[in-house]
Amino acid sequence: MNELASILNIGLLQNTLRTATPVVLCALGCLMTDHVGMMNIGCDGMMLIGAFAAVMGSWLGGSWMTGLLLALAIGLILGLFYGVFVIKLKSDEFIIGVALNIFAGGVTTFLLRELTGQSGTFHAPEGNLSVLPRLNAAWLDNIPVIGQIFNNNTLLVYVSWILVLVCWVLLYRTPAGFWFRSAGEHPQSLRSAGKSPEKMKYIASVLCGMLACLSGAHLSMGYLTTFSENMSNSRGFIAVACVIFGRSNPPKVFLAALLFGFIDALGMRLQTFGISSALTSTFPYIGTVLMMVLLVWRNEQKKKKLAVSGLR
């Protein structure tokens, strides 16, 4: 009993938020592209490049702000790049996504060596990399558990929560959202309404690039301020899974990402209890697979129910 309590402590919940945040941000980007009908599975690669750009930005510019700005700028370019290939040149979005992922691994490794002369993991020679600021509200500390969980997180954790809401409002409560969704579902009807579906797709793909790179920035500057090769560690794919699981609805996708974060945090926690890290690091991926199985099962049940009620 004691052991259980020491596993399920507040630190676990703090870690949940920490590990979920990059997935949340990346998934928000990915669901934007899903709504316009060109789901970007390359967001894992975008995340990795974003992580690299953030570290480079903060190293060269000397501030976390330059890091964020560089990540966002690179994200914008990557989004445009994806858009040009998928929308203008009409390539298959999955192939471009896969290409992006492979490209990201190569280009970050290459640039890391070329620009810094280091390999594997980046250590700033002067040690002047700045971490994303943590937000603190004194009054929150007075509330026991909640204060500990919700206070003292890095900036992007709060930003991601706001963005979940913003994305939801954007997609379901603004004209632009209606245009987005119709561009994905029935582009001709949007065109006949005098709006360009291609424009919506470009905007979504740029938003996706920026959000994915923002998630990368949180990965590299949120707690560690270091970049290591392949540090996205397939979180982008987990984000894709969350988008599918949450049916591209921002709050539901957010919950799916939190669930993932919890499993991840639980895995790390169990390491301290002597369970092999090789095993615990598989938790998030096993969790993702189980989530997908659940999704398919749920759909099947729904189908059966409909069929039964209809056949009577």
Question: Which residues of the chain form contacts with other proteins (CB under 8 A)?
Answer: 169, 173-179, 181-182, 185-186, 188-195, 303-304, 306-307, 310-311
**Considering the complex, what minimum distance in angstroms separates the CB of residue 282 from other proteins?**
34
| Pick 123 or 298: Cβ nearer other proteins | 298
Residue identified by tokens 């949450």 is 246
Residue nearer to other proteins on the CB measure, 88 or 186:
186
Q: Given the complex with other proteins, which of 121 and 189 has the nearer CB atom?
A: 189
DSSP helix/strand/coil, 121: strand
Shortest separation between residue 241's beta carbon and other proteins, angstroms: 23
The nearest distance, CB 18 to other proteins, in angstroms, is 33
Collapse the DSSP code of 154 into the 3-class scheme (helix H, G, I; strand E, B; otherwise coil) and give the result: strand
Task: Give the HSE-up count for residue 178: Cα atoms under 13 Å, Cβ half-sphere.
Answer: 8
CB-wise, 32 or 265, nearer to other proteins?
A: 32
We find the least distance from the C-beta atom of residue 294 to other proteins, in angstroms, to be: 18
| CB of residue 304 to other proteins, shortest distance in Å | 7
Q: Residue type at 65?
A: M
Residue closer to other proteins (CB basis): 144 or 175: 175
Question: Is 43:239 a contact under the CB 8 Å cutoff?
Answer: yes
Tell me the β-bridge partners of 154. Answer: 134
The token duo for 151 is 């206070």
* Residue pointed to by tokens 């500390």: 141
Buried b (16+ CB within 10 A) or exposed e, 26-43: bbbbbbbbbbbbbbbbbb
